[in-house]
Structure 1
Amino acid sequence: MDGFRAERLRLRIEQFAPALGDAEANLARIARAQADAAAEGVDLVVTPELSVTGYDVRDRVHALAVPEGDVPYPGLADGPDVIVGGIERDAAFVPFNAALHLRGGRVLHRHRKVYLPTYGMFDEGRWFGRGDRARAYDAGGGWRMGVLVCEDLWHPALMYLLAADGAHLVVVQAAAAGRGSWAGGEGGGRFASWPAWEHLARAAAVAYGIYVVVANRVGTEGPCVYAGGSMVAGPGGDILARGDDLAEDRVTADLSLDAVARARRPYAHARDDDPRLVHAELARIIGERG
């Protein structure tokens, strides 16, 4: 496929529990998902954060890293586009938590996680290098996309940058643990922590008139129980599809640029936004802070 279609982009989230440290098994799982997706007319398969390696890799990070290159996972060359989460090392041998959009096995776009959490149970800053950009890219058929990874969603400036760069669709990979299982979520889900993710996704979708896709994992690693709940938020802020909050699941939705256009009428947020003002005021703030 040379690119997506404007009138219908069928997207599927493959919500699953990656096997920790077993890239071979995880890649085989993703390849099967690609094959099933191809049979069902899916154009893009999205997997969770670090879907190739599992999340809590710690000092195995270097052994699991693949060199930066055009074809990092040759076994995923067949079938529809797929966004995988893997560990990529640069020429200086620094490993990055990377989301890779693959088309025909080749990297169409890469996003290296910018914000590496080092609070609570998380210690990513110890193992990974930090990404230094958030950019939209052309995916064909008139679609512009952006990709973020987990904690990046909690820093709204990154979503703003992608929207200002013309994104119609932002994919967020996640390995978000569930908290507050006894309390439950506002909408009746198992985890009290998950509604915050939905609020962030829906707020960005309705503010910018874009699709926001959150692909979260499930399963357990050590003491962590991952919260599932993968979702597709439409450009009007409504939830179009949602995954189970405990079990593996497949979440499929049809997206269109017509829906993006409708969501931006009668609003004029994108037209009236002024990145120059933001740039000037940030420069002032940074200068005043020294």
Structure 2
Amino acid sequence: MASIRVALAQLNFRLGDFKTNVALIADAYERAVEQQADVVVYSELAVCGYPPEDLLLKQQFLDDARAAVEEIAANTSNAVAVVGFPEVEGECLYNSAAICYQGNIKGIYRKQLLPNYSVFDEKRYFTPGASAGPIIKIGGANIGVSICEDLWFDEGPLDHQVSSGVGLAISLNASPYQRGKDSDRASTVIDRVTRHEIPVVYVNQVGGQDELIFDGSSFVVDSQGELVARLPQFEESVQVVDLEVEECGSGDLPVIVVSRSEQQKKPIPEKRIAEEEEEIAEVWKALVLATRDYVNKNGFKEVVVGLSGGVDSSLVAAIAVDALGPERVHGVSMPSRYSSQGSKDDAAALAENFGIDFETISIEPGYTALTNMLEPVFEGHQTDLTEENLQSRLRGVLLMAMSNKKGWLVLTTGNKSETSVGYSTLYGDTAGGFAVIKDCPKLMVYELCRWRNQQTSATWIPEASITKPPSAELRPDQTDDQSLPPYEVLDPLLEAYVEQDQTAGELISRGYDAEIVHRITRLVDLAEYKRRQSPPGPRISTKAFGKDRRLPITNQYR
């Protein structure tokens, strides 16, 4: 048996910022070398960040990526660095891993299985690799490289690698977070370990990238299927682990032979396993990371939230404070004649509890002016939804004016239940730059608020915001259940229709009321045009609106 010390570099890259990414990679390499690592493993496309999308169609981007990986290689010493990058050869583009050692790129592995589903469309850009090699040979142990999807299916390169004497598999990943994904990854890797009886090192990136959240949670499973290391979720970490790898001869794959010092290695802790979070805590941390990275990576200093005193805006403000600190968050109450005193008080209390800047701007003068302007045009028409939407759009105008004047990013407050059925005002409450809870159903919104309050002895989110009947407060005595079924009925129905793709007939056969099913599915279908014009927001479910679910707006199929 050969003892191999592997460093897992779980890093938060900035997409397209090669200078920063090279520095992150170099720093992690130095830390790994100090701990006498034999191999340092980074995540998929680490050099440029993931997913680069159509930047991959720009030749200069690809040239810069190549220059970056060559710079990384030039600064390597006696530890192997395995770094993901986009590789061009001839007319083909590959999702590759550079094997860097002693100042050079010694070999390149090319990803074979390209995902083309859900949020992934790698076949738009990449050509599949044809070889399961090269193999890295260190002290008699053979190490095989794979990239993300390669490990998820039996027809991946691992079978060929094992038949060629590989005794340790390392996997570079850019695997986005969704609820339950962490256990899926672990079960997949354990299945591979059980089948091949070799240890697997799984390295994932961390950080927010537009609508995707990468949770890290990199881990190592030994040849017996035992978890021997797990890095924390939602934060950067570099960790080394010692693995006993069976020595074996090499088969038909090319081999990169690595010499190493026989100097005795300093001991490291045998097991460092980060605690698993409960699911609601995972979701909270995911939303906090997504918000922080979207704001910071796009160069915003501060954010603004319209505070209605309701549960949705309270949750968004709380997430923003945890992500950025109270000094970077501004809350604005914009009451109308229909706003209750309780709601105004709850908005002010929330701002005070979290220590954020708070302003109150009544929309009454603007609403009166607009209705007077429109009175000649509206003559002969009854007051209806139009006047309600005017109020919401006025609030959007005020928030965007503050954004323009002060450079604040507007965080919108719509949840997935409302977004699904179009229970929102286009250019009103959808106006903004980042939709923090757009993939959170209403019942989850309540759960997140309760969880956040339980983390401290004080009640930071006012209890009244959580317990009062939800209302847009755009007309007298308005509540959500006048327009929608109770959320206890609506949310499971929407999950089945949107995330599980069940038909109206299947929903009715499950016991849902036929009238409700037909009304809600029709609302979901009709609201596609609104969703296309809404801001991006973090994906936490198996199917979020956006890349996960691509439907035409002009569509007669029901």
* Cα distance in structure 2, aligned partners of 1:64 and 1:13: 27
Q: Which moved more, 1:138-147 or 1:74-83?
A: 74-83
More helix by share: 2
* Cα distance in structure 2, aligned partners of 1:68 and 1:52: 6
**10, 26, 33: which one aligns with 1:31:** 26
Residue equivalent to 1:115: 113
* Greater relative contact order (CA < 8 Å, ≥ 6 in sequence): 1
**126, 129, 147: which one aligns with 2:127:** 129
* Cα distance in structure 1, aligned partners of 2:76 and 2:143: 21
* Cα distance in structure 2, aligned partners of 1:212 and 1:107: 23
Would you say 1:197 and 2:185 are equivalent positions? yes
Gaps of 5+ in 2: 248-558
C-alpha contact 2:215 2:235 (8 A) present in aligned 1: no
Deviations along 1:120-154, one digit per CA (max 9) or x if unpaired, are 11111112222122135242311111111111111
More strand by share: 1
Would you say 1:244 and 2:232 are equivalent positions? yes
TM-aligned CA deviation for residue 99 of structure 1: 1.1
Q: For residues 108 and 209 of structure 1, do their structure 2 counterparts lie closer, same or farther at Cα, with a shift above 3 Å needed?
A: farther
* Cα distance in structure 1, aligned partners of 2:150 and 2:94: 14
Q: For residues 251 and 75 of structure 1, do their structure 2 counterparts lie closer, same or farther at Cα, with a shift above 3 Å needed?
A: closer
Deviations along 1:87-118, one digit per CA (max 9) or x if unpaired, are 110023x2211011111132333211112111
* Cα distance in structure 2, aligned partners of 1:98 and 1:230: 19
* Cα distance in structure 2, aligned partners of 1:116 and 1:7: 33
Gaps of 5+ in 1: 1-5, 181-191, 262-290
* Cα distance in structure 2, aligned partners of 1:105 and 1:119: 38
* RMSD (Å), alpha carbons: 2.3
**37, 42, 46: which one aligns with 2:37:** 42
SS in 1 for 2:155: helix
Would you say 1:82 and 2:81 are equivalent positions? yes
Q: Percent identity?
A: 27
- Aligned ranges for residues 1-290 of structure 1 at < 5 Å? 7-61=2-56, 62-66=59-63, 72-76=69-73, 77-79=75-77, 80-92=79-91, 94-135=92-133, 137-158=135-156, 159-180=158-179, 192-257=180-245, 260=246
Q: For residues 251 and 202 of structure 1, do their structure 2 counterparts lie closer, same or farther at Cα, with a shift above 3 Å needed?
A: farther
Residue equivalent to 1:266: none
* Cα distance in structure 1, aligned partners of 2:141 and 2:65: 25
* Cα distance in structure 2, aligned partners of 1:11 and 1:199: 21
TM-aligned CA deviation for residue 205 of structure 1: 1.7
* Cα distance in structure 1, aligned partners of 2:175 and 2:103: 27
TM-aligned CA deviation for residue 207 of structure 1: 2.3
* Cα distance in structure 2, aligned partners of 1:91 and 1:68: 16
Residue equivalent to 2:416: none
Q: For residues 17 and 67 of structure 1, do their structure 2 counterparts lie closer, same or farther at Cα, with a shift above 3 Å needed?
A: closer
SS in 2 for 1:65: helix
Q: Which moved more, 1:136-145 or 1:247-256?
A: 136-145
SS in 1 for 2:215: coil
* Cα distance in structure 1, aligned partners of 2:234 and 2:83: 21
Residue equivalent to 2:511: none
Q: Which has the larger radius of gyration?
A: 2
Residue equivalent to 2:510: none
Letter in 2 for 1:155: F
SS in 2 for 1:8: strand
SS in 1 for 2:150: helix
C-alpha contact 2:9 2:203 (8 A) present in aligned 1: yes
TM-aligned CA deviation for residue 9 of structure 1: 1.5
Instruction: Report the TM-score when normalising by structure 2.
Output: 0.41
C-alpha contact 2:42 2:203 (8 A) present in aligned 1: yes
Q: For residues 176 and 28 of structure 1, do their structure 2 counterparts lie closer, same or farther at Cα, with a shift above 3 Å needed?
A: same
TM-aligned CA deviation for residue 231 of structure 1: 0.7
C-alpha contact 1:231 1:251 (8 A) present in aligned 2: no
Letter in 1 for 2:209: E
Aligned length: 243
C-alpha contact 1:15 1:47 (8 A) present in aligned 2: yes
C-alpha contact 2:42 2:82 (8 A) present in aligned 1: yes
Letter in 1 for 2:188: L
SS in 2 for 1:63: helix
* Cα distance in structure 2, aligned partners of 1:12 and 1:40: 9
